Structure 1
């Protein structure tokens, strides 16, 4: 899979570190029970289809990139710098 870094251009995905979904997580209250914290820390959705994910260009420019991709076909639909996506769900 190739990811187009908005600053560096198309690169092999091995230059990037995958960090997870580009969504804000609702952190539980400190006094929430162990089951709530376990769910928050260990369980994430794993949808088939289009997702928006955070990738860190570790072996490149060091930017955080939001990658919109299809998890079924592995098609990368688009990329944007995370700083430019602030307020858009990233």
Structure 2
């Protein structure tokens, strides 16, 4: 398979950070970029029961075309997963 000379090589970094977010809280369009803010629920354990707070854990900025491709790719992936999970299993028994 020939590689386009303008295509950058993909390098998978096993040490890249991985982040869990409970929600994408907000979106903002500025200067040709989509800026997304992510949040996670955090509990303050200094009292019992501890209060729960929504804490910003990160922001992702992407150019509009990349953000659109990301959104479409994510929706396609979710639809594929739903279809695969709703298909009956070949060896499943029905009672």
Same fold, judged at TM 0.5 (above): no
More strand by share: 1
TM-score range, shorter chain: under 0.3
More helix by share: 2
Structure 1 or 2, whichever has the larger Rg, is 2
Q: Greater relative contact order: 1 or 2 (C-alpha under 8 angstroms, separation 6 or more)? A: 1
Per the normalisation by structure 2, the TM-score is 0.22
